[in-house]
Amino acid sequence: MQALTLTSPGGLDNLTLSTLADPGRPGEGEVRVAIHATSLNYHDLLVAEGAMPTAHQRILMADGAGVVEEVGEGVTEFAVGDRVVSCFFPQWADGLPFSRVADFTCTPGDGADGFAAEYVVRPASHFTHAPVGWSHAEAATLTTSGLTAWRALVGDAILKAGDTMLALGTGGVSITALQIAKAMGARVIITSSSDEKLAQARTLGADETINYRSTPDWGKAVQDLTDGTGADVVIEVGGPGTLAQSVTAVRTGGHIALIGVLTGHEGVVPTSLLMAKQAKIQGLIVGNRRQQQDFIRALNQTGLRPVIGHRFTGLSSLADAFALQRSGKHFGKITVEW
């Protein structure tokens, strides 16, 4: 079996297409899945570059989509031929997060082997059914960024029709959030440093766009666009470098979904303004299996499809895909199929 492995201490030069032993037949409660696609997320890039240390030889990638080839004794949720997609926190079935969710010890591609492989044998609870009619590449976008956007808007912020949502950037989380918010009848404002990407966002339904490079005080610009009210929900993927502007942009009593750390891990929070606005900052990392099932039911109902900006073919192309991701030149998701 072929798999893409990372040799410590990490770095894209230490990615190797390896021949490993076949995982064999599934045991009780397990399924054997032929994996056909993955999608890239910032978390995967941190692991690949060695910024998040992992095992000496780790099979990468949290996202995986494929076909069930065999089911073990006692498995009733899946049958041979079912198209499935992986879970980011396979041990988190439902309810509130707990300690093992916070440390990534069971997250595929980090604390456990991931899905950059031809075959895996895992407990059936590590997967959900994929959306009906989706390609493997499309389904692979759900595990991390797709579910993060869904949880942020629907599970935590409880977005409703007529609300205004601000999304930072045009990566996978923000573009999926744009799609979900528009499907729910919300107004969407989105930022980017690229006018070309902003034009693409408008074709997806973005109501207002802001180039944060030419408008560095974009928090005030959001206030101006909302007649001084501010955004009901902010999808904050930048972290310390953008959080102050997000606090300016959010409405009094609004919700900031703190998802990413693209600008660093520590910074200054404008606490006085945050208190005055009585706004909520909710940190989150992806979601649980039940939320993924809810998201997929919504996708089957609405017909939304992910935006895949770049598609690579073959496990050996993963390093090139990571290089593109690191450049920041992508729009939406980057996928690899095999």
Q: Which tens digits make up the pLDDT trace of 221-246?
A: 999 999 999 999 999 998 888 999 99
Average of per-residue pLDDT across 192-202: 97
Q: Please, what is the average pLDDT of the chain?
A: 95
Distance CA 212, CA 263 (A): 14
Burial profile 206-219: b = 16 or more Cβ within 10 angstroms, e = fewer: bbbbbbbeeeeebb
Contact 89, 151 (CB under 8 A): no
Distance CA 256, CA 317 (A): 36
Q: How many CA atoms lie within 13 A of 296 on its CB side?
A: 26
In this predicted model, what pLDDT tens digit does every residue of 26-39 receive, in sequence order? 999 999 999 999 99
**Residues 208, 255 within the same domain:** yes
Average of per-residue pLDDT across 142-154: 98
**Residues 219, 321 within the same domain:** no
Distance CA 35, CA 244 (A): 41
Residue 298 lies in a domain: no
Tell me the CATH number at 28: 3.90.180.10
**Residues 81, 201 within the same domain:** no
Residue 229 lies in a domain: yes
The pTM of this model reads: 0.95
Among 120, 138, 77, 118, CA closest to 289 = 77
Residue 211 lies in a domain: yes
In this predicted model, what pLDDT tens digit does every residue of 56-68 receive, in sequence order? 889 999 999 999 9
Contact 184, 302 (CB under 8 A): no
**Residues 169, 229 within the same domain:** yes
**Residues 235, 311 within the same domain:** no
Residue 334 CB burial class (10 angstroms; 0-12, 13-18, ≥19): buried
Strands (E), 146-207: 164-168, 187-192
Strand partners, 84: 66, 129
Average of per-residue pLDDT across 192-199: 97
Q: Which residue has the tokens 């006085």?
A: 272
